[in-house]
Structure 1
């Protein structure tokens, strides 16, 4: 050997170290590097590090026995060989050391340089071979275990496949026995029947009533020619599938049943192929559709009758709808006329109040004030006249308010735009903490006369609702002419409301929503309201001009 062998001597005698060192230095064929520890603990620690190729271990190390180090080294998985050294040869010690795992046993003073060299080399080689054998044995055991598992899995798989095959066979037999469909399996190209369902057996009349359940369904000594004549509609799809690999899906044919009349059946057929794609047979299934045909005919008749009745009812509904539309238009016209009459009556009453009561109150107030001016000598009577004058002034103001509520004269004298401005100024005077933002983008001439009072009433109702119910901080009013339509929009930033909840509680009427909607729709407008909690409410109306 040309490589340097690392040797550790564990011995408490320094002379033995010098002796071993000299002997290893004299070796001719091998180079050694000797290290020495002289205590039990140091030896055990050095062996655990596994930094040497071979260990020379003395039997007695101080008060300890070298066998303790050897056993612990073997238990710790030490792979390097251990050669036992002792001052006196003893068979029992030799045997005990070898059983504990020593590679060799040398008696001090009885071995020479060649013997020591050979013992070290043989021990290393023997240990290497032993480790290789352990590895091979471990690999062999692993291979045996894997093969055993593979064989067990293969056997289990074979048993599973056998059970699955039995299960599939049982399923096939159950299907053939119980499913109410004709099924036939044939070979290719002989067209020999391999299996036939009970339904098919009964249909072709292979067995009498007493033999019905004893007739086998598989491995039949029959061909398709034994079951149906050449003229039978079933033969073509079966032959096409078995001999040409064609697929037939829901083909309608006529089949003779037990020498009776032909019945309509629905047939499907397809080829059976092997792993290479070659056709080895075919399977076909069919079912009696006589009842289906009868039901289809009844449904066709019923559908024709239903369509006729639907046409008649549609005509009746169309006529009724036309009458309802006419009635609705009449009601709408009557309601519009009623609103117009109401506004005309309000206008007349307001004019009467202005011309009669207003004028009379103004005249009485003038006379009272004139009389009070002459009563300079009687202050008490003069003060009574002045109190009466102030009461007359309040009555005149109340009369003016009533006239304005009935019909603002400003609307007839100056138009809708001026009236909106007057109303907004009055609104801001009453509700000083609610500013009004106006956005008027149309001309007075673009608003028809009949819509002016409608627009004013909706604005009046919407803004009063905002002030009374919404706790708004701002009201926005927009009136414009867009795309041939007059658009009105009144919105606030108040608390909003739930329309469904308001309707269920009867608050719709309280808020005047019904009145605004009726005015808008009866005048030909489209009314929309949008309200979101904590965001506000918007009322929009559009009239096509």
Structure 2
């Protein structure tokens, strides 16, 4: 939080309570408080209409307003201002209602000291700021979903940035690989921008170049006097720029460009706003990297296959943001109850974006998974499975037989199957333990991943083709290298997935079912949901959201309406969640057919 005074509006009709609050705030150390007092709600609302405040201390029992209505009317007048309610000792239930309705905190009169009051006010402001940032990040991702052409979405991006930091001009500059310049990539300005898209700044002897080379942001509070480089000084003097921030765009530790904000007001930006700008830039970097990758894929589309891949990549990248948005929505739901968990969800969403970017880049270049570039097959499979340890599961990975070299195609297939199995466990299984075995047999290489989760009804699953839980890609990958996948499960008794790939020249043998999938779980059966959507990332995000409910299990997924119809008739789920538009058979026609 910045060191500037916090503007506090106290709405309290009791003179003694108001005097005590004023005295307590006067005793505080560090950043001071500027307190204004109103003894009626009507006067408080008039004050809110006149000028902004940072936080409101609100008594819920006033001469002209009583109970929860006092909070509702105040929040409606100042929706973006955090409110801390004041109650009597016998009004705890009312205070809790106010918190559930959006108040940041409540204080009981007669129990408040300086430390408690100051901590409550500062935390209320901090939580409100974090909530605003989460909303902005969420909207940035939503803007990205609308298209991968950065020029087409930059107006929406700049609108969200302005909610946290005011500016006269906002621009993004990107350094092309191995070039000695940075190029203006996108611009938003009130009036004509200083430089159009495509304008190039030298990498050396410019502020943007310095940020790219050092990775450190630059804050100028008094331009042009503080301007260091001749070109920067001339531009600031010519266009009346008084304050400016240059912030690095960092992606996976690499500076790919800068975010630049300027204002015609001197001392417009503080160190705190510089930190906020860097936080925004960290999220914008992912959007810019995806847009650059999409442009790269279009440039590669000189052959028919590359052209097809460019279209698929566009859809995949755009849809990947939907899964990220679901993560951010979850973070917003956590914000008022668990700020730490909400921050972790935001970081998880950003990590998902970086991982999706890396896999998309490797798809464009037709490369095998990155993990196989630096690990053995067993180490790579283990790293995929051990992701579950971060979710609190017990993970045991082992290898048997004599390891022999395998082709890139086989190694890639096993890693992809392991990743898909892990994703299914995280989305559906509600497991506590996972065992993985990579077995180098005499005739084949086999990977088995078993969990002790809720399982599903195997008798209702088709014996060939795609089973439930999004297994279509597993079967297709295994078949492409001459292998097969077997799925064994029992309701309440866990699931075992085995992929077997014969060595060259070895006969193909069908996998035989194995006993012992785990002990049956007790308790009422969960609500069984079948999820139908033609975008895998959307299904992943929805499954993760449903996984928060202990009494709900997704028994199967379908990638189109025809598959959903067959699985619904076979599995008879309690609930069908379907997209309206899907290939072959849309959601409305699907429901009508059922």
Q: So what's the TM-score if we normalise by structure 1?
A: 0.30
Larger helix proportion of the pair:
1
Greater Rg by CA: 1
Q: So what's the TM-score if we normalise by structure 2?
A: 0.28
| Structure ranking higher on relative contact order (CA contacts 8 Å, 6+ apart) | 2
